[in-house]
Structure 1
Amino acid sequence: TTWKILVIGVDKRGKYASINKEITTAKDVILTPILPEYFLSGDVIKIGAMISNNTSKNQNFKLSCETVNYTFSDELSVREKSRSVVKFVYNVPEVESREIKVKMTAKSLNELNMGDGVLISRELRPRALNREWRKSGIINDKTEILKLSQGKFSGSLSISTDILGILIDSIEALVGYPYGCVEQTMSKFLPTIIYKRLLKKVENKLEFLESEKVDEIVTESLRRLYGFQHPDGGWGWWKDDQTSTFMTAYVMHGFFIAMNEGYDINEDVLKKGLNALKDLLITEKKDRNFYYMLYVLGLYKKNTLGTITLKDIENNYERILYLLADLRNESKNSKLLKTIIKEFNGNDHIKFTDTPYFLDEIQLNALLLLELSNFREDSAEIAKICDRLTNYLISKRVGRMWKNTKQTAFCVLALSRLKDLEQRKIYATLIINGEKKFSGYIEGNLKIPIEGENTSIHMNISGNAYWSVSGKISIPLEDYNPISSKFAISRELQKRISIKLNKQDVNLFVPIDNEFVIQTIETVQASTSAVAVLSYSLINADSSAFVLSDHSLIFNNEYTGLVLHGGLIELKNNELLVKGTLYRDGVQLTNDGIYKLKFKKGQPLKTGDIVRSKIKIFGSGEYVIIEDPIPSAAIPMKNYRERLGRKFFEESRIYVQKEIRKDKVLVFLRIVGNFTTIYNYYRIMFSGQFTILPAKIWEMYDTDNFASSEFDEIEVEF
């Protein structure tokens, strides 16, 4: 450690002098473990330690390592003022624990009490695909049996005796969400500000968050929302993307509710947000979220409808939002309520047609319940509609939440406004995997953790209750098959190789197990006018074959890393003559000409190599998340960039946001078209045999649209 010391001296006349000094301190012996960021069960990895001898004498050390199912010791000599590295092979076990503790010590054999030691924890991941699983229902004086047939389930069973219990359960699930984009931050923020009010109704019996923690979440959410505000006063999903009409209205909607719950909102942020909302109503009159913006602005200011009249509106979701905005004009309430009632057409909810992407039927009916609850005591008919809307919204619950975070936030907001939120008591017997977990009375909400294979749940209820099961199913890779829906996803691992292009260094990415790779490319002839005959496949004397498939140059069914706009001329002794223009990843490498390509044997994967994960998506969707796991052998590379001759190659920025974590890369895209390709890069740091878990894709707002790829196994040269 280097310490910087600054000494300043001042006399009575104000004159001063100063001096800087640096002092470096170091332990006599420093042991530095060489470990991956996490372990994956079943991997075989070469780990180790570095011993630094900072003394002025040569030292002999005994190195010891203890971890799960493994012990290792060795003796080594380390010269004065130098360091040595010891490595050893660890077979990562499959155990129940979710972490592995590694204890390493280095003790001098020459001097007493000289040495060093460390104890480090690393997360242990199972060799399995994890997928979210949620289900819920209503049970009334009966026994219900639920079976989860595939894989190991880890999650919980929640029993709620009343709507208040449902709200507490849903809020707890939302609060557990990480802070992500603006929408997820808002959908976590909204229920949290409601939570304090609900606690008064349960007399703190169901408190899972302390009041101080609630305020902490609200403060952090507001800090993030303030920071995400765009220069124009609006909001998108992230700090530097395009302003969204829905997200701007959603944030301003949340701020209004927060102020009603007694929270202060920054005046400058609020003013800029309102101005942005007004500007969007002028510039985006044809936007699908126009009437939601109008409704939100109406919360702050009455008579915002201007010259718009109901007869101008054909779509029923726009009519309802218009009517809800107009409810702010109290003199029209009776007439407006009758108009809204007609829209139900005798159903328990309004069936909306052609809704915008971010305001679906459940959210719109939640808004209806929120506003109509203010009038239920004035009209028996309105009270019945509110009851039917309540039952409809509860029936749409999936697990502890609704289909997605924004649906959950809207429904929690609407249901929390009901005035008859009273706790009820029921009797229940709950048996999980053959073991009685609970028998007795439940008042409000009960949550029971579940862990096990092929889980079965028996619920015997006396009374009316709402149940939900939420968690993750872990499917061992031995039993795993890729999953597809409206999406399919594939992954190809490619290794970076260096070749000579007319004596200039150029990098190519080729499949990691290619038997042959390009060694050199040489210009034979700049002009191609004399070449008359071109082929699209050539076979060598040893039956090896080159094929030009959709411009990709293929050798023995292996992609060479090159695209050729032209044709093949001749193949002889692993040297290929081609005519045309060569490309790599869309970057032009050569001009039109005749080129000789020479090939050599491919090399095994080794430490230091750069690997590219090429993700291909089949199918289309909106607001999509892609998760690409990183092997424990590697560390991710952010903003990958490299020189290609006189040009630079950079990954194409088709995504909105990319989050790089120690074990995976998360990519967020607003729109995915068929055959979308995403590249992720990492550097191999450890030798061994490794499994790479399947890549996954799902829609943020419809998690049923889920797909996963094959898993991969790689071997890094020992």
Structure 2
Amino acid sequence: AVRPTHIVRLAKRLKVKAGGEERVDWRVAVIDEGEAIVRMSALSDEESDAMEMKFPVYVHGMLKTESWSGVIRPDKNSGKLTINVPKERRANQSRLEVRYSPTLAGAMVDALPYLVDYPYGCTEQTLNRFLPTVVTQRILRNMGLDLKAIQQKRTNLNAQEIGDDVERAKGWKRFDRNPVFDEAEVTTMVKSGLERLTEMQVSDGGWGWFSGWGEHSYPHTTAVVVHGLQIARENDVAIVPGMMERGVEWLKRYQAGEVAKLKNFPTRIDPWKEHADALDAFVYMVLVDADHANADMLEFLYRDRTHLPVYAKALFGLALHKQKQADKLAMILKNIEQFLVQDDENQTAYLKLPENNYWWSWYGSDIEANAYYLKLLSRVDAKDERASRLVKYLLNNRKHATYWNSTRDSSICIEAMAEYLKASGEDKPNLLVEVLIDGELKQTVEITPETLFGFNNKFVIEGEALTAGEHVIELRKRPLDESKIENQKSKIENPLYFNAYLTNFTLEDFITKAGLEVKVNRKYYKLTAVEKKVNVSGSRGQVVSQKVEKYERTELANLDKLKSGDLVEVELEIDSKNDYEYLLFEDPKASGFEPVEVRSGYNGNEMGAYVEFRDERVAFFVRALARGQHSLSYRLRAEIPGKFSALPTKASAMYAPELKANSDEIKLAIED
């Protein structure tokens, strides 16, 4: 048996009347974690009784992860960040991990297996099954890589993700049958896909959703296919003669009809329409890429630019760039930039689409709009910091950490990232990376195209080796003395993206909040009942005054006092920089408080979370967390007198170990 480490004996003499009762209070302090055993005995000359209860005693501490993100721009040589390792901690559970990568866009290869294995074969998905793989494989071939070799050894190029690369890849099934590394399989995929698209082409030259009797050509589907065939041809894919040309002719006829409608608007002669729309912008871009520019549609689109969705503005901008319409392009870029949100903390940027955005339509897709904007910036100025920030935002918002919402937006993202890779020079890394801690060189790594998918991209310090106090982490980069790339000058500069994660089991007296991509702020409110009546309809339609439950909320500060019996509401304010799935929010309960609700399950909260009420905490399981601010709440009742600490709320992602956050702790007192 385990011997108790601390024994305290307390006694009190009192008189109890026959049939009566008396209350005895002893105030105790918790001095160690473990199990507290309380034995109570009542002794008299004639009768005696005793009772024993066991209580878990938790340590005042938690596993806390602090996260940092940074980038060294191509024209800079180093980046620094300062960390502080607490003295009050369990040193054996301390860990510092630094991840770095010369390209985030290179992580796009992870989405390819999803596109290949999608089980349905409509027109768009037939195209998306092979086109992104062709684009990606050509980039890898142009880098001079041995595809078979890098298939065997893979580095996670997304510097934001931690954990064992191989194990994480298995968990997400990232590398299972990734066709990009198999040239023979890609050739088979392309041949099969083009044959299928040829069969699906309608007799008038366009494409519909599927194929067969009764199918009609649709402008959006036809534009998607022609655009895809244009990209395939740019990537050395042999197109069936006449197939693309017939599609272009169909789009030209469609565009001529839309121009006629716009010209008929002043006289209202049928058919007519008032404004050029998103579909007009898409078709115009595709036809400009086919060297068929309609001057009338150009002017209509520019005239109606304020009516175009943000997505369509980016499409129109791509066409204007190809046409070298500099003044009009500058105006479109200015129109788009009013929707741009930049976050310096995690170096991301995204287009915040307006509230009246038609999210259910193809041109209402947040991901696709940002991808086409990335493509536009890649052509206008790929070195612009906004472009790399868009890449990071798009990577952060992948579903299941490998692909996006659908085959279409995944394909468009890969297309945009591939263009950014080539335009920015990130497909030709040529740098020496040094990691220094407090000025002392700890790691040196060479990154070239040959090593891009296999270099050691992390530096780790664990346990006692990570000493308490302040430390400066510095990453330095410089071009290799001799370029490993044929015909490339060694002085060509590359960016370096990095993340750092510091984990400690902290025993600090007041634990402060932490978080990067997700933040949690917890507030306690005292609820005071107020009398409130509302008028409702009675059984005969008469007005009836009825009492309703209503409370005034008073926010509680750290070290505030409550009375036993007071009702308290706990609110968790959640701020997310991205869209996430499968998150867990655990709120430790301070001793002396008990939840008002006791039944776990779905309770109709704002976020649709599954709630579990446990002895020592309340847990919220959130299926989907959208970008922005949200809140969760539940109620407690103050019961046992004393001074208590509520340890911080913890946020974590069930399938992404780097996504962690916590709130501040709070200390409260309960009095009789």
TM-score between the two structures when normalised by the length of structure 2? 0.38
Q: TM-score, normalised by structure 1?
A: 0.36
Q: Relative contact order (C-alpha < 8 Å, sep 6+): which is higher?
A: 2
**Greater strand percent: which structure?**
1
Bigger helix fraction: 2
